[in-house]
Structure 1
Amino acid sequence: MPLINIIPGDKIPVAPMNVRLPAWRVPGWLLVFWWLARGLFRLIVLAVRYWWLSLPAGLALWVRAEFGGLVLAGVVTTVAAGCLGWWRWHPVSWLRFGWYPLVARIRALVVYRPRWASVMATCGLATVFGGDRYVPRLLRVRCDWWGDELTVRMLPGQIPDDWGQAAERLAYAFRQHTGQARSTGRPDRVVVRFMRRDPLAGVVAPLPVADTPDLGGLPLGVREDGEPYRLRLAGSHVLIAGATGAGKGSVLWSLIRSLAGGVRSGLVEVWAFDPKGGMELAAGVPLFARFAYDDPDGMAGVLDEAVKRMRLRASRLRGVTRQHVPTVEEPLLVLVIDELAALTAYITDRKVRDRIKESLGLLLSQGRAVGVHVIAALQDPRKDVLPFRDLFPTRIGLRLTEPEQVDMVLGDAARDRGALCDRIPETSPGVGFVVLDGVREPVRVRFAYLTDDDIRSLGRTYRHLDHTANEKEATA
């Protein structure tokens, strides 16, 4: 073996490595067989996945081959006549179990699945890791008259708020009007709701009045899915915020109307406060046990009286029950305040303003358990105007002028979850979003509209009577 003289500092010669992969010669017939097998497998998968298309098509081909075209035409005519008869006989069940499931499958196949991966990528909901792309999986599409509801399996690391922030972009990407995301019972799934038609476009007529109000679900209007909206007043206070002309009166009068049956029977007392000189609430004076307006000192006195009544009731119920049940002797006390900011921020007399703030703070923090509830409306949601905003478990945001005001009224990240109060048009008064403590997603609602004649008729029919005085006279 020849010797190589290596001089210090010189590089040792290294032979180049062979990095070429070995070439395998595959017969052509094997490639053709592999392509055919893979295509057949994919065809079977698609036939099973879209059985609602493949099964009727297979049956139609079989009938055509076995019995001829006339028999196939007769079968198709019979099925169409059966569907038509079902629709005419019971349209609700036909739409629910027949038409809408078919529309949902067609829209999933034509509208959503072809563009799903690209839309997820452009909206920031897909990701790339290790050179592979990961896309959320579309599990199911449901349709109704108003829109589409998509159930999606989220990627690891995603939360429903991520989809809430992207819901508007998703709606525009799929050519829909609006979008909203909400969580489900399973932590890995989210439901995205797209609206094709707006069920809240029309004015909602006054709803029927129950003889005994259901405090666990007072009917006030219509939800975005077309179902009646019911507000839980038991154990809650209600804050209503909206710009001028947003429809705060619709919310107030819808609440008062839903309580009118209890007002007539003596189970409910409504104390009304109208700092604007009585312009909003004066039409319903017969419904009110107390009506304070125009005089700040007088309104502060009525609030002080409500605090005393609350404390006396608490002393009677202490050790007996933890939750008040309305009776004629101990009715539910509802304080309705229009333009709350006029009492908490715009009164020039500092002593009177401090008295009102102190009374409201006590009523909001201690009144729910003893059957004293505050329903307040205002235009300016700033913290210095309403320092105890967090004491309202139920908050209603109507049309607002700025995006920042949405989170001021409804809570942090409420706008990202779909409460677009700043985008409600001026032509839709009474439309708003409702947020409850402990519930992440806001509910879009249109509240019933009462005309002046409706309010006066309500006052004549369900006027407040002093049932306590009548009982005392009967006892004497």
Structure 2
Amino acid sequence: MDKLTLRMAPGQTLADVTKACPALASTLTAHSGTARDGGRPRWVVLDVLRRDPLTAERTSTDPARLPATGPVVLGVDEYGEDFTLDPYTTPHAAMQGATRSGKSSTCYTFLGALAYRLDVVVTGVDPSGILLDPFTHGRGAGYIATGTRPEDLDRAVSVLRYLVSLMDDRVRDLLAQQRYKLDTYTPAVPAVWVVLEEYPGLLATARALDADRGSKAGQKIAPALEAAVGRLVKEGAKVGVLVLVLAQRMSAEAIKTDDRMNLGLRATLRVDNGDAVGMLHDGLDRHAIEQVRSFAPGVALAEAPGTGL
């Protein structure tokens, strides 16, 4: 990246230079340019990218060299800087993407890094059993449900209810210690990631089973799953019980609006339905939404608290 310091003409503002960035990049035969405040009146800094950093592949870190703590590098942003997910401070996450969009590879990168950490435990519900199978032999094995048989869905409810109970116990401990939130994690008190693989499909299967069983209101599985997930995303972040919701398409039926508001990190790889993009990313125009539908595998829209889209 090249950095150019420019002096604006009288009457110009940073907004004027920002609007002119595509033309400036073209003049400089560069991929793109971004303007920012230069720290002095009438001066701006133009960050110029000579090539598109998203066109190159990024090799995942050798597991033996993965950091034992701190953020996990998922990829690079449009400026060539690391895009990370902090497994201790991220207030829940959501990721959507169609088949062969790169969603599974991204999840493997994240979960593979967590597998080496003693202060993180991976739990959750995985109807296919593929994503979470490696963790069924780890410390969180007792709190992982896989499969779509009736007994598997009953276990999914039990697992999520246990995680809610764990969250409640931690909240009570905080109150007893007169603390606002957990900010340090150890092998004894680890951060707990609750992975919900293909969550909309899980709910659809549960609703079908409820119908087949003729379950009464208090016995239905789907509402029990939704209630547990709702409590986790509303209350879990401050005590280190963090949720990762995965879906091919985050429809309106996938997760309730109030719960979606608590998903701090949101990523959308290629999806075939433009409405799904708007479910996670507010305020995008139609052109931007159409671009997402043609993303190459591994390219995503992503936003997190403090970083924007």
TM-score by length of 1: 0.51
The answer on 1:281 being equivalent to 2:132 is yes
Call closer, same or farther: CA 1:386–1:195 in 2, change over 3 Å.
farther
Kindly provide the CA deviation profile for residues 318-358 of structure 1, in whole angstroms up to 9, marking residues without a partner as x.
Answer: 14222212122222111112111122344313411100100
Kindly provide the CA deviation profile for residues 403-458 of structure 1, in whole angstroms up to 9, marking residues without a partner as x.
Answer: 44322222223777899422313xxx222122123543x2xxxxxxxxxxxxxxxx
The percentage of counterpart residues that share the same residue type is: 24
Query: Of 222, 229, 242, which aligns to 2:97?
Result: 242
Match of 2:216 in 1: none
- Distance in 2 separating the partners of 1:355 and 1:177: 53
Match of 1:303 in 2: 160
TM-superposed deviation, 1:177: 8.6
Match of 1:71 in 2: none
Whether the 8 Å contact between 1:238 and 1:394 is mirrored in structure 2 is yes
TM-superposed deviation, 1:228: 2.6
Call closer, same or farther: CA 1:385–1:175 in 2, change over 3 Å.
farther
Kindly provide the CA deviation profile for residues 118-160 of structure 1, in whole angstroms up to 9, marking residues without a partner as x.
Answer: xxxxxxxxxxxxxxxx9985xxxxxxxxxxxxxx6335xx9x7
Secondary structure, counterpart of 2:293 in structure 1: helix
Alignment of 1:379-390 (within 5 A): 379-387=248-256, 388-390=259-261
Query: Of 197, 201, 212, which aligns to 2:68?
Result: 212
- Distance in 1 separating the partners of 2:11 and 2:159: 57
Query: Of 241, 247, 258, which aligns to 1:378?
Result: 247
Match of 1:434 in 2: 302
The answer on 1:407 being equivalent to 2:278 is yes
Secondary structure, counterpart of 2:238 in structure 1: coil
- Distance in 1 separating the partners of 2:274 and 2:28: 24
Match of 1:128 in 2: none
TM-score by length of 2: 0.76
Whether the 8 Å contact between 1:213 and 1:259 is mirrored in structure 2 is no
Match of 1:143 in 2: none
The answer on 1:365 being equivalent to 2:226 is no
TM-superposed deviation, 1:213: 1.6
Match of 1:322 in 2: 180
Rg bigger for which structure? 1
- Distance in 1 separating the partners of 2:43 and 2:306: 19
Alignment of 1:116-127 (within 5 A): none
Query: Of 368, 372, 393, which aligns to 2:264?
Result: 393
Whether the 8 Å contact between 1:345 and 1:385 is mirrored in structure 2 is no
Whether the 8 Å contact between 2:72 and 2:110 is mirrored in structure 1 is yes
- Distance in 2 separating the partners of 1:188 and 1:300: 60
Match of 1:55 in 2: none
* Structure 2: runs of 5+ lacking an equivalent: 211-219
- Distance in 2 separating the partners of 1:360 and 1:436: 20
Greater RCO structure (CA 8 Å; 6+ sep): 2
- Distance in 2 separating the partners of 1:298 and 1:180: 52
Whether the 8 Å contact between 1:421 and 1:432 is mirrored in structure 2 is yes
- Distance in 2 separating the partners of 1:269 and 1:438: 26
Secondary structure, counterpart of 2:116 in structure 1: helix
Match of 2:215 in 1: none
Secondary structure, counterpart of 1:250 in structure 2: helix
Secondary structure, counterpart of 1:154 in structure 2: helix
- Distance in 2 separating the partners of 1:281 and 1:300: 17
Report the residue type matching 2:107 in the other structure: L
Whether the 8 Å contact between 1:179 and 1:418 is mirrored in structure 2 is no
The answer on 1:198 being equivalent to 2:69 is no
The answer on 1:261 being equivalent to 2:116 is yes
TM-superposed deviation, 1:192: 7.6
Kindly provide the CA deviation profile for residues 189-234 of structure 1, in whole angstroms up to 9, marking residues without a partner as x.
Answer: 99887755222323322224545321xx222223333333222331
Whether the 8 Å contact between 1:213 and 1:261 is mirrored in structure 2 is no
Match of 2:214 in 1: none
Call closer, same or farther: CA 1:327–1:414 in 2, change over 3 Å.
farther
Q: How many residues align?
A: 283
Call closer, same or farther: CA 1:235–1:281 in 2, change over 3 Å.
closer
